[in-house]
Amino acid sequence: MYRQSDNTRSDTPLIYALYIMLSCLFTSLLNIIHSIYILNIELSPVSFIIPAFAGIIFGMMLAYIKLLSKRLQEMAYTDALTNVYNRLHLAHFLEAEIERVRRYQGTFSIILFDLDYFKKVNDQHGHQTGDKILQRLTKLVSAANRDADILARYGGEEFIILASATDLKGAARHAERLRRDIENYPFGLSRKITASFGVAEYKADEDIDSLIRRADIALYNAKAQGRNCVVKAD
């Protein structure tokens, strides 16, 4: 339903080239038709080349505007470093999921997690290494998530998963699988990278802030219990 893709930016040059070709072709044809049938200019090399050239220039401008609009949309919805949804856009998904549950019943859960002692990684290995770890982490988690799951960067090394149509027990199982995957993943450091998880299931008539607050308390308890574990909210 909401499958996130890692290929958004890699597809951009191909999409841009397609926009250029279609825009140039369309505007060139319009210019030629306008010149011949509206302005009554006789068909000649000049009457063909000038509107065609003008169409190419205008088509490139249209393609550039389209590409710029796409990039602005990506900046508004996704995190620039990890290419997953950002905190602001996650709120839209949460609102839609709450509305779905209130209208059609069912349930959903959220999984809040962050990397343990990540500040030490940045301090010892530099922020570039830390950035690469976050990028690898999001790819690892995205691959393990279902198509309907929403992964977003909540801030720093903290992430959140919206697990649609999933109760507390199912979300906790998924969180535990992710915890093991992260612990066993070769991030390229001499030390293991681990994560702590807080899991909360939506309660009837609960708002977004309350749901996230309960997951955050569970995450805090996971850290208090020694980190690298999953704690369910009350």
Contact 77, 163 (CB under 8 A): no
Known catalytic residues are: 157
pLDDT, residue 61, reads: 72
Instruction: Write down the CATH number for the domain with range 87-232.
Output: 3.30.70.270
pLDDT, residue 122, reads: 93
DSSP β-ladder status, 230-232 and 195-201: parallel
Contact 159, 118 (CB under 8 A): no
Element (H, E) at 231: strand 230-232
pLDDT, residue 2, reads: 45
Residue 14 identity (one-letter amino acid): L
pTM of the entire predicted model = 0.74
Task: Map out the domains of the chain as residue ranges.
Answer: 12-77, 87-232
Other beta carbons within 10 Å of 80 = 9
Q: What are the pLDDT tens digits along the chain (234 aa)?
A: 444 544 444 455 566 666 666 666 666 676 667 666 676 666 666 656 666 666 667 666 766 777 666 666 666 688 989 999 999 889 999 999 999 999 999 999 999 999 999 999 999 999 999 999 999 999 999 999 999 999 999 999 999 999 999 999 999 999 999 999 999 999 989 889 999 999 999 999 899 999 999 999 999 999 999 999 999 998
pLDDT, residue 5, reads: 45
Q: Is 191 helix (H, G, I), strand (E, B) or coil?
A: coil
Please give the Cα distance from 37 to 54 (Å, whole number): 17
